[in-house]
Amino acid sequence: MTPVKAAAYEILTEESVTDYKRLMSVAKTYLKKQHDLFKVNGVFFGDGLGNNPTGATVYGRAFVSTGMVDAFALGSSNFMDVVNAIITDIYRTQGFVDEAHYQPSIVLVNPIDFFIQLVGAKDANGLPVYPQAGLFNEVRIGGVIIKPWIKIPIGSIFVADLSKYNIVNYVPFSIRVGWINDQFITNKFTMVGESRYYQYVKNLDQAAFVYDDIATVKAAITAAV
């Protein structure tokens, strides 16, 4: 693998950092947050083209329903059945005989699906089934974290054993300040924050990532009649 880069930049005026106390500190903090967000998005959604990292969702394969077809009667399956079916698929998939089982650790869905399927889920008495969902924006069940993520399309679901996605920090995050274009004469300057890292998934471990549609999985495990 070759290292990939995560970077962000911002432009300020010399007057702004002189006239407003702590503005430079605020700007550096914001730059670090933007860098981290860019890196996380690359880790999950990078297309792998050129110098871009290959995101975990790009490694994701389709759900395999072997042994779980029509496991539920018509109308009796729900969102958690979909999640557990994918977890089961990942767990029972092995690249070779006696390979250690994968243990899915994270589930990502679109915020709309998270709201409908978890935050809005109620029991027969009208009480929330997952009261922690709205409070902490995540649900933890059996060691698996279910979280909303804005870049997951509505109706899609990503489940993975993220211990199989390897990230090795190569060049730590740093901020550099300089001039571009005519900034020397316009009293502006540019701050660039960047880092470099390696990311990879071993060939046999790519089976530990599933990225599919909720409806497709639900249809596979639910009887049609």
Is the confidence at residue 137, as pLDDT, over 90?
A: no
Which helix (DSSP H) or strand (DSSP E) does residue 17 occupy? helix 14-19
pLDDT value of position 1: 80
Beta-bridge mates of residue 54 = 47
Provide the token pair at 142.
């059996």
Question: So what's the pLDDT on residue 99?
Answer: 86
Rounded distance between C-alpha atoms, residue 161 and residue 186, angstroms: 50
Q: Please, are residues 10 and 33 in contact by the beta-carbon 8 Å criterion?
A: no
Cβ proximity of 136 and 128 under 8 Å = no
193 touches 8 (CB < 8 A): yes
How far is it, in rounded angstroms, from Cα 92 to Cα 217? 16
Contact 216, 63 (CB under 8 A): yes
Q: Return left, alpha or beta for 70; rule: phi > 0 is left, psi -120 to 50 is alpha, else beta.
A: left
Q: If pLDDT is split at 50, 70 and 90, which confidence band does 135 have?
A: confident
- pLDDT number for residue 170: 95
Beta-carbon contacts of residue 16 (< 8 Å; ≥ 6 apart): 23
pLDDT tens across 72-126, in order?
999 899 999 999 999 999 999 988 888 899 999 999 999 999 999 999 988 888 8
Statement: 4-221 belongs to CATH 3.30.2320.10: yes
* Percent with pLDDT over 90 in the chain: 81
Domain ranges of the chain: 4-221
Q: What are phi and psi of 9, to 5 degrees?
A: -145, 160
CA quadruple 138, 143, 144, 149: dihedral sign: positive
Place 36 in a pLDDT band, splitting at 50, 70 and 90: very high
Instruction: Note whether 209 and 61 are within 8 A (CB).
Output: yes
Query: Using CA atoms, how far apart are residues 217 and 63, in angstroms rounded to an integer?
Result: 7
pTM of the shown model: 0.88
Any idea which residue has 């990503």 for tokens?
A: 158
